[in-house]
Structure 1
Amino acid sequence: MRQVFQQELREVQDRLIAISELVTISIENAVRAFNESDVAIAEGVIENDTRIDVLTRALDELAINILARQQPVARDLRTVVSALRISASLERMGDMAEHIAQLARYRFPERAVPKGLRSTFAEMGRLDVEISRKLTEMLRNQDVDIAEEILTDDDRVDDLHVAVFEKVLGDSWKGEATATVDATLASRYHERFADHAVSIAKKVQYLATGDWAPEADDNAL
């Protein structure tokens, strides 16, 4: 029974990695669609989010089934419960990527990125993609050192997020109402994508070290 249980735990980890890989593909394509106004890529991201949702629900069902049948304790219990919370964050990351892609689709054939903020959003997108890749690597290898890299990258995304708001609220901003709304929403989606990755990184870090870092807005949407 113990061997079966360990196999199930490995399956949980493998499924988390698979979902994280799909999320990485989604954010890569969403960023490209948003910055290049590519509606075909945007549609692919939106379709891919359904697959992420299906895999997330299946993982949750597996984890709940393990809790009911195996009644794990101590570290094993924390592992399964954390998997449920991590899957929820991955699902939200997929949603953020979908929202970015939807902005590109709604504004096509125009570009959703306001002209004065294109370099800012290009950098935010690059950081989100890098964070997602690092997160997948962390889930695969349980390398807790990567968590600090993710936190550093997230700080840079936060700084860019603030810069976007300063830009659109500044006296020199000449963008129309639509451009202002697009910039505000897009910046928020990029920022929340990174925040959910940080939440996951902290959970993996805790499982590996036993040290818990408080997450003030872990329940934010």
Structure 2
Amino acid sequence: MIILREITKIYKTGDIELRALSGINLTVEDGEFVAIMGPSGSGKSTMMNILGCLDTATSGEFWLDDLNINYAREDELADIRNRKIGFVFQSFNLLSRTTALENVELPMLYHGIGAWERQIRATNALNAVGLSARLHHKPNELSGGQQQRVAIARSLVNNPVIIMADEPTGNLDSKSSIEVMNIFQQLNAMGITIVLVTHEPDIAQYSKRIIHFKDGIIAQDETVKNRSFAEGEPLKLDLNWRTEVASK
């Protein structure tokens, strides 16, 4: 799914250079659930931006789902983000004046999908994360955990091959955090690759593998022992529907 070879990222301000990443080599297999950890300034956010095609490396080689990202133009990167990657952020990134359904439909607008199919797919995705009774609620009418579930539903509608989650439980209480991790674990069990950035060790324990960043390098790469498992409602996600979406 992901292959990184000698990835370096250098930010320049005038004559000053800041090396955020130094020669990163990393492979993430299809169907893995990986957590990225590290202190502020360790390079983990830069790494996530590169993996999500939101930023490009200064040097090195990056393959995502058999695509060489190194030479992609800006419009090609935007297309890759829309077709292959689902994003979930700490701040939810929902439009405040639109309903949950309309928020989930948004990625499909950029994909050129018609109104009827957008509504069907968005409804199915919201049903999958247990929000069938909240389709027409706006963000300020939803709890933090419900808003994050809307964001997860939005990440699913274009049938991504990978979900990038950046501190997805950072603004949630313990109960809501467990509900969100339950959803991620179920999605991963269905075969979706998940890469999650977190500063919370207890949240990282829900993943299968933890990669620790320090000073722009990978300091440790470990398989999770004594993995945590989140309890919660089973997802109502129809994999046949997702397959149909991918074929269109």
Could you say whether these structures have the same fold, taking a TM-score greater than 0.5 normalized by the shorter chain as the test? no
More helix by share: 1
Normalised by the length of structure 2, the TM-score is 0.27
More strand by share: 2
Normalised by the length of structure 1, the TM-score is 0.30
